[in-house]
Amino acid sequence: MEELSLHILDLVQNSLRAAATKVEIFIKEDLTRDCFLLEVRDNGRGMPEDFVKEALSPFTTTRTTRRVGLGLSLLDMVARRCGGGVEIDTKLGKGTRVRAVFQHSHWDRAPLGDIKATLVAIIAANPKLSLIYKHRLGGRDFILDTEEIKGILGRDIPLNNMAVLGWLEEYIAQGLAHLYGGEEKDGNPKESG
């Protein structure tokens, strides 16, 4: 996968499969410490302890259709290649937090890519999910909280209404453009480093 935002989409799919109703995505780009942190936290069913140890192996999966799992091991592999790694924190019945760290300026670090498309895809297909996206860069934050938006929309209008999704797309694009301190181009905010 050529974008970190695709890994994020993949991590959120894991959360949904674990029956999560709440998912928080956190991205922190710390240029002074040359660190790119990506975190997905959910309130899903969690994983048993012995499973966690194996979760990063490509031969582990909860899926039943195929015996080989790829998502987490793939992320771990790319993070390691960029001087970082993946850490999993999970509690049965409580939830899971997956945290991936990369050296921000590393040659091999994939760009974040089209995070807007990732967020809109998640929201469009899972309007009931409570999703928070928090992106921090150089002292600035962009926060998207679907509960806040649902509060404004009221009960009659679902989050996956086409007009609402259109609004969301622009809202995210502009929030990110502001965060990166420039104009948005092709949904890919310019990356520094």
Partner 1 sequence: MATLKNLDDLRKLREQVKGELQERFGGEIKIIVGMGTCGIAAGAREVMTEILQELRTRNIDALITQTGCIGMCEREPLVDIERPGEKRVTYGRVTPKDVKRLVAEHVLHGRVVEDLVVARFDEEEE
Nearest distance from C-beta of residue 2 to partner 1, angstroms: 9
The one among 114, 133, 180, 189 contacting partner 1 by CB under 8 A: 114
Nearest distance from C-beta of residue 120 to partner 1, angstroms: 7
Quickly list DSSP for the chain.
---HHHHHHHHHHHHHHTT-SEEEEEEEEETTTTEEEEEEEE-S----HHHHHHTTSTT--S-SS-S---HHHHHHHHHHHTT-EEEEEEETTTEEEEEEEEETT-TTPPP---HHHHHHHHHHH-TTSEEEEEEEETTEEEEEEHHHHHHHH-SSS-TT-HHHHHHHHHHHHHHHHHHTTS---TT-PPPP-
Nearest distance from C-beta of residue 35 to partner 1, angstroms: 25
Nearest CB to partner 1, comparing residues 93 and 162: 162
Contacting range for partner 1; rule: CB under 8 A; set: 48-56, 88-96, 116-124, 130-138: 116-124
The one among 157, 181, 185, 193 contacting partner 1 by CB under 8 A: 157
Nearest CB to partner 1, comparing residues 46 and 69: 69
* Rg (alpha carbons) of the chain, rounded to whole number: 17
Q: Is 67 in the site for partner 1 (CB under 8 A)?
A: no
Nearest distance from C-beta of residue 52 to partner 1, angstroms: 18
Nearest CB to partner 1, comparing residues 82 and 164: 164
Please give the residue ranges that form the binding site for partner 1 (CB under 8 A).
1, 6, 9-10, 13, 17, 63, 65-66, 69-71, 74, 114, 117-118, 120-121, 124-126, 148-149, 152-154, 156-157, 160-167, 170-171, 174, 177, 183
